[in-house]
Amino acid sequence: MLERLHEIFTTQYGRPAAISTYFSPGRVNLIGEHIDYNGGFVFPAALSIGNYGAFAARTDSVLRFYSENFPGAGVVKADLADLAYRREDSWANYAKGVVREMISRGCAIGRGFDVAVFGDLPQASGLSSSASIELLFAAYLNDAFGLGFTRKELALLCKKVENEYIGVNCGIMDQFVIANGVKDTALLLDCATLDFEAVPLHLGDKAIVVCNSKVKRGLVDSKYNERRRECDAALAHIQTKIAVANLCELDEAAFAKVAVDLGNEILYRRAKHAVTENVRTRNAAAQLKKGDIAGFGTAMTASHASLRDDYEVSIPELDLLVALANAGGAIGSRMTGAGFGGCTVSIVPKAQIPAFRAAVVEGYYQAYGLMTDIYVAEPSDGVRKIG
């Protein structure tokens, strides 16, 4: 991968005096979906697939961005003095936003750079390709200019870029696990406090398997921001009855008491998902610690049902992949990510993976004429310099 990345860089820019190379993983969320912005617990893992970046310093203020994953965009050019969002700049807006945010905080970024990006992370698939790009650039800038940001601070900075510069009202989960991931673990993250625990993924004879629906989703154009507004509206009503800072402070009994006269079926179901998903996530992580993988799998499948019925962010393609996975021997399966497309995640006995793969691929192709990509997820360390 590194040799290929350096070839891409040289093709675009020529051979530099020195290159710094970074890797930024994608992430898969095992359980705890759409509750990071509701103050809940999530349980994601960084992945061994992601984005690689080769950076070379310049002596002027020019920035040049190229991604082999978006060759049609060509080399996107910008300047430290003009980092405004431009739709035509495509993927490079995520990188520009990070540079702009750091400069706005008084960081001394006194020169530009050339960069070539290449990755094996599917784009717009629910595996957090955008946060991966953001952290790739944040880590490089932090090191190259000695900015001194902690991993937590980098995650929060990138979240702000996504919220304010890109315009997606996401929570902290994606950026946080990409910044802080630990190999062979998932992070049980309290999104209200940012306290987290790295929980070893001791799955024994089972593995985490990701299936890509090949239905791409764009969060800005989806109903993601609408769901956030609905949760905020439900919370505002509940706060007239009880003092809580977010929906996930409520357990199911407390929610039942304050939501009886919410007066809006949609808001009720959105809030119900947030509350029940938070309980599921904490219980599922406890089950995994005790070695109850079957219980964890049951919680995953229940999570999908809630995302489909109460939160309404699944689509028929994801529902079919979950059904095919469970019929094909999965211990549990669910959509992962924001929804409206993207991927599912399942726990599958290793011995059954070949038959699982064949059955899911065939069933999905027969229904939708799409070839799903299926791969075993290997939990990885977070963003890091590799050369």
- Which tens digit of pLDDT belongs to each residue from 88-101? 999 999 999 999 99
Query: Is 319 annotated in the active site?
Result: no
CA distance 310 to 304: 10
Mean pLDDT of 329-355: 95
Mean pLDDT of 277-296: 96
**How is residue 303 written in tokens?**
């999570």
Of 276, 294, 268, the residue nearest 349 (C-alpha): 294
Mean pLDDT of 26-34: 96
Domains in the chain, please, with CATH?
2-199 (3.30.230.10)
CA distance 330 to 95: 38
| Active-site choice (174, 195, 251, 373) | 174
Least confident range of 66-80, 211-225, 343-357, 363-377: 211-225
Give the burial class of 252: count Cβ atoms within 10 A of its Cβ; 0-12 exposed, 13-18 middle, 19 or more buried. Answer: exposed
- In this predicted structure, what is the pLDDT of residue 165? 96
